[in-house]
């Protein structure tokens, strides 16, 4: 992930974006999300509180749109011959990771979003919640608490460990 984050930082800096704008965009991207955003903020020497707030906002911003519109968008895209296989593959991949969420519901969705492993995160969690028709009043708090959990874990990795290393 570190190499990917550096590549995206270089690309966005090449576009003339400020470090904060680059972190915000990284935090909005699927795959990288807040996890990549916190690492980018750390690499770019953005103060922790500022970086954390930028990452939180960037990661939260797409979630309501995914929860509210992704199934309708997918249904429309599946009506096209060209995009149907891609959408079905995305749905299949997301649902293949839904066992924990189905078993533990709220807690499962929160942990799925919060534990920074490949293929997990707010985007995939919101997609699964939408595909499983989990009610918004259950999905939104679970995803937001998962994002907060991911922020704590990634803050320690991105800011805490480098700080501890500097002490020695």
pLDDT digits (tens, 9 = 90+) for 108-128: 999 999 999 988 999 999 999
70 within domain boundaries: yes
- Residue 104: the pLDDT is 87
145 within domain boundaries: yes
Both 41 and 75 in a single domain? no
Residue 1 has pLDDT above 80, yes or no: no
What would the pLDDT profile of 22-62 be if each residue is shown by its tens digit?
A: 999 999 999 899 999 999 999 999 999 999 999 999 999 99
User: pTM of the full predicted structure?
Assistant: 0.89
160 within domain boundaries: no
Round to whole Å and give the CA distance between 100 and 86: 24
Both 131 and 82 in a single domain? yes
68 within domain boundaries: yes
- Residue 152: the pLDDT is 97
> What's the number of domains the chain is made of?
2
Both 40 and 87 in a single domain? no
155 within domain boundaries: no
- Residue 161: the pLDDT is 94
- Residue 98: the pLDDT is 85
What are the structure tokens assigned to 78, written together? 């599946």
To the nearest 10 degrees (0 to 180), the angle between helices 48-60 and 136-155 is 150
- Residue 32: the pLDDT is 93
| Residue 109 near residue 142 (C-beta atoms within 8 A) | yes
Which residues span the domain enclosing 72? 63-149
Of 86, 167, 101, give the one whose Cα is nearest residue 138.
101
Both 95 and 130 in a single domain? yes
Both 144 and 110 in a single domain? yes
What would the pLDDT profile of 70-109 be if each residue is shown by its tens digit?
A: 999 999 999 999 999 999 998 998 888 888 788 888 999 9
Q: Which residues make Cβ contacts (< 8 Å) with residue 75, sequence separation at least 6?
A: none
Both 80 and 142 in a single domain? yes
- Residue 49: the pLDDT is 97
Domain termination residue (choose one: 60, 80, 101): 60
Both 118 and 139 in a single domain? yes
Both 32 and 89 in a single domain? no
Both 56 and 76 in a single domain? no
Return the exposure string of 63-78: e unless at least 16 CB atoms fall within 10 Å of the residue's CB, then b: beebbeebeeebeeee
99 against 67, higher pLDDT = 67
């Amino acid at each position: 992930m570190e190499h990917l984050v550096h590549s995206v930082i270089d690309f966005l800096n090449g576009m003339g974006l400020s470090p904060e704008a680059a972190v915000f965009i990284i935090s909005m991207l699927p795959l990288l999300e807040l996890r990549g955003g916190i690492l980018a903020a750390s690499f770019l020497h953005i103060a922790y509180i500022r970086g954390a707030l930028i990452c939180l906002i960037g990661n939260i911003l797409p979630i309501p749109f995914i929860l509210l519109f992704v199934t309708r968008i997918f249904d429309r895209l599946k009506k096209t011959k060209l995009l149907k296989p891609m959408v079905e593959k995305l749905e299949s991949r997301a649902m293949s990771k839904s066992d924990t969420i189905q078993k533990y519901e709220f807690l499962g969705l929160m942990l799925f979003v919060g534990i920074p492993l490949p293929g997990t995160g707010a985007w995939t969690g919101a997609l699964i919640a939408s595909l499983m028709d989990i009610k918004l009043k259950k999905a939104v708090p679970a995803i937001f608490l998962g994002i907060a959990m991911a922020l704590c874990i990634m803050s320690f990795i991105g800011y805490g460990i480098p700080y501890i290393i500097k002490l020695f």
